[in-house]
Amino acid sequence: MLGTGAALAAAALLLLVHAEAGAGRAALADARTERLVAALGLTDLALFTEASYTRHPSLTDLNTPFQDSPLSFEHFPTGSLMQPPLSLVHPHVAKH
Amino acid sequence: MSRSIERQLHLIDFTVGSILRRKGKNGALLLVYTLVIFVLASVLFFTRSLRAEAAAVLKNAPDIIVQRTLTGRYQFIPMGYADSLRTIRGVASIAPRLWGYYYDGGFGANYTLMVPNDSTVQPGTIEIGSGIARLRNIRVGDIVPLIGHDGNPQTYTVARILDNGSALVSADLLLMAAADYRSLSGIPDSFATDLVLTVRNPKEFPTIAEKITRLLPDTRPIVKNEILRTYDAVFNWRAGIILLLFTVVILAFFIFSFDKATGLSAEERKEIGILKAIGWETGDVLAMKFWEGIALSLMAFLAGAILAYVHVFFGSGFLFAPILKGWSTLYPSFSLAAHINAGDLAALFFLSVVPYTIATIAPAWRVAVIDPDAVMR
């Protein structure tokens, strides 16, 4: 059992080293992506493509999720996964 | 070696033997405990890395974006607005952006149409994100028909597929020339989707945003700081399903600790009674229970965290994909760079190891202070 514990601790250390080493590789990949972001003026991650306000949460407002009809509920599953940007919930925070 | 260290080593040796004597019970406990920590660590690693990735790649996002809205609905912005905004001191440049969405009924997917400002895309051609290429099995040189605003199909030749390394921001992009975009969408030449402002001094963002709202009350400026903060909030621990998951995990920890704290099994009580009868002191019994708690919770913590690391950074968080996809047909294939935060690991450690260890010691202390004869009866 002590051997298993030591093996787990060694594996955890190895993964921490892996994480550190991966940071350099990620920076190179990020540099290519950063150039694309700058060239196209991108604002959001392409993670949730199901609705405009989930595809571009940084550009959305509080009306968009409910725009289908005045009394409609926000119904896309992603809406339950993420919360609105801080600038919409606390506009005064965003200003400062 | 000092006597106290030697004593602790003997205690650890005895504790390991004691744990192994109850293999079935402790094994099951370790398995469930590891699973709980795996879920929590996976969420922590995944959201932390996604936030770090977003912060890294979006730092080149536009300084200020100006949208036009009427009663909460987006409107195209007249190009003439750019002339008004140019009068604001501190604005270095203004460029119109042309972009929108295209719903591909055949595949049930939404694409993001964009026009690059540097006119790199030739009319009649398009450049597509790797997600679209994968979904529709498109190669360079293929012809892609898109239905225009008038219902007529327009065809484009695929000139380039965007690098999959940038899929996290470009998987659903469909880049086209400005003339093609206007012809497809029907937006007149005098309008753009929104305007992008470059500002000389980032400290002036809030002041300029305020001036924009005063000058053009039907517009909404979105400053870069807000864009950068968006993903911090989106994947905050308070967000929807993440909060639910955290609640369930904390409840599971509570049940573990409660189960431990409410009492020992008859076998464990008997063991403590025998140890006391043969001369162990209460302090020795507590030290043994302390090592037992540490051994089980530390192993669960390490195993859970390692499995979570492998799941998120080697397996691209495949267990989260169905949740993240939602109704999206198009989902980027990406691998996250590992961003491990010492604070997250410390929180996970204290949440998993400390309460469990304390909960293991407490009932043992209650039993250890009773007369051994009474305990064994």
Mean pLDDT, range B128-145, rounded to an integer: 93
Evaluate if residue B180 carries a pLDDT over 90.
yes
Q: Does B11 touch chain A (CB under 8 A)?
A: no
The size of chain A, in residues, is: 96
Q: What percent of chain B has pLDDT over 90?
A: 38
Residues of B in contact with A47 (CB under 8 A): 50, 168, 324, 331-332
pLDDT tens per residue across span B76-91: 999 999 999 999 998 9
pLDDT at B367: 76
Q: Does B306 touch chain A (CB under 8 A)?
A: yes
Contact A49 B116 (CB under 8 A): no
pLDDT tens per residue across span B205-228: 999 999 999 999 999 999 998 888
pLDDT at A70: 64
CB atoms under 10 Å from CB of B115, counted, come to: 22
Mean pLDDT, range B146-155, rounded to an integer: 92
Q: Does B296 touch chain A (CB under 8 A)?
A: no
| Domain topology for B99-186 | Barwin-like endoglucanases (2.40.40)
Mean pLDDT, range B362-370, rounded to an integer: 76
Evaluate if residue A95 carries a pLDDT over 50.
no
Tokens describing residue A14: 């190895």
Could you tell me which residue, B64 or A35, shows the higher pLDDT? B64
- CATH 2.40.40.20 segments of chain B: 99-186
Evaluate if residue B310 carries a pLDDT over 90.
yes
How many Å lie between the alpha carbon of B250 and the closest alpha carbon of chain A? 19
**CB nearest to B309's CB, from A15, A38, A86:** A15
**Which pTM does this prediction carry?**
0.82
How many Å lie between the alpha carbon of B84 and the closest alpha carbon of chain A? 21
3-state secondary structure B167-232: HHHHCCEEEECHHHHHHHHCCCCCEECEEEEEECCHHHHHHHHHHHHHHCCCEEEEEHHHHHHHHH
pLDDT tens per residue across span B160-173: 999 888 888 999 99
When pLDDT is cut at 50, 70 and 90, the band that residue B12 belongs to is: confident
Q: What percent of chain B has pLDDT over 70?
A: 96
Give B217: exposed, middle or buried? Use CB within 10 Å, 0-12, 13-18, 19+: exposed
pLDDT tens per residue across span B48-73: 888 888 888 888 899 999 999 888 78
Tell me which residue of B225, B255, B236 sits closest to B59, measured CA to CA.
B225
pLDDT at A94: 45
How many Å lie between the alpha carbon of B285 and the closest alpha carbon of chain A? 20
Least confident window among A53-62, B109-118, B340-349, B361-370: B361-370
Residues of A in contact with B353 (CB under 8 A): none
When pLDDT is cut at 50, 70 and 90, the band that residue A25 belongs to is: low
Could you tell me which residue, B19 or B375, shows the higher pLDDT? B19
